[in-house]
Amino acid sequence: MRCRWNRTWSSSSTRADRTEAGRKARWPEHSGGWRAIAVPFFVGGFQFWCSPGRAVEPSLRPAYTSNAWHAPPAKPDSLNVRHQLTGNAGLYHVARELSRRGWHVMPTVRNTRGADLYAASDDETRVLSIQSKALSKRAPVPLGGSLQALRSRWWVITVNANSDLPTCYVLTLDEVKAAAHEGVSPNGKLSYWLQPRAYELDAYREAWGRLGSPLPAS
């Protein structure tokens, strides 16, 4: 079987004509006055039509258009992977800083509700729940659609988490809620976030002392 691209409409045909032609091409028994065409196939990103006894002629229209029957191949979710790596970099940087200061740190299961890590004092009389927010650059911090759903007593925002010199900002949950910016999308969805100017304060910058001392009281 040889194949060709059978276009049975003129350049002045309307979009509806072309759509109807495509429909009848897929179901030859309903073609009426249209020439029967077999199902299309795709090679090198171009579309071909199969019809017995005819030469092969490619369509100059790319196969993946709004009128094509095959969806474009899915692209690797590299953006999501980079986001996860940034989150990991920030989380383990926070764990390192806390460990350096004498806290016993235990990260939790990622992508679950609640704290990202817990820090316990040396005598285990104090246990801090900490939310880690890591950013690859200076940017707003998304907080979701409800402030009431926010958890963890302490929040640490790490900016430039993938760099050699990340910067951490230590805030309480109440400070996060008080500084949250509210917005509504065109479809009516409510969301909250922290603007950089809200967390980039000297009082929060590398303020690990706000957590208290992990050493037992003498």
On the question of pLDDT at 72 being above 90, the answer is no
Q: Which stretch, 28-37, 61-70, 85-94, has highest mean pLDDT?
A: 85-94
On the question of pLDDT at 159 being above 50, the answer is yes
CB of 59 within 8 A of CB of 45? no
Domain residue ranges in the chain: 1-73, 78-211
Whole-angstrom distance, CA of residue 2 vs CA of residue 30: 23
130-139 per-position pLDDT tens digit: 999 999 999 9
CB of 121 within 8 A of CB of 214? yes
Least confident of 56-60, 107-111, 123-127, 157-161: 56-60
Neighbours of 66 (CB within 10 A): 5
With H, G, I as helix, E, B as strand and everything else as coil, classify residue 162: coil
Neighbours of 109 (CB within 10 A): 7
CB of 158 within 8 A of CB of 170? no
19-49 per-position pLDDT tens digit: 555 555 444 444 444 444 455 555 555 555 5
pLDDT score of 193: 96
pLDDT score of 17: 53
Nearest alpha-carbon partner for 133 in 105, 149, 154, 103: 154
pLDDT score of 216: 82
What secondary structure does DSSP assign to 69-127, as a single string?
SSPPPPPP-HHHHHHHHHHHHHHHHHHHHHHHTT-EEEE--TTSSS-SEEEE-TTSS-E
- Cα 92 to Cα 18, 101, 175, 216, distances in angstroms: 57, 14, 23, 25
Average confidence (pLDDT) over 46-73 = 48
Q: Which stretch, 75-89, 105-119, 174-188, has highest mean pLDDT?
A: 174-188
On the question of pLDDT at 172 being above 80, the answer is yes
CATH dotted code for 78-211: 3.40.1350.10
For the chain, the average pLDDT equals 78
Q: What's this model's pTM, rounded to 2 decimal places? A: 0.64
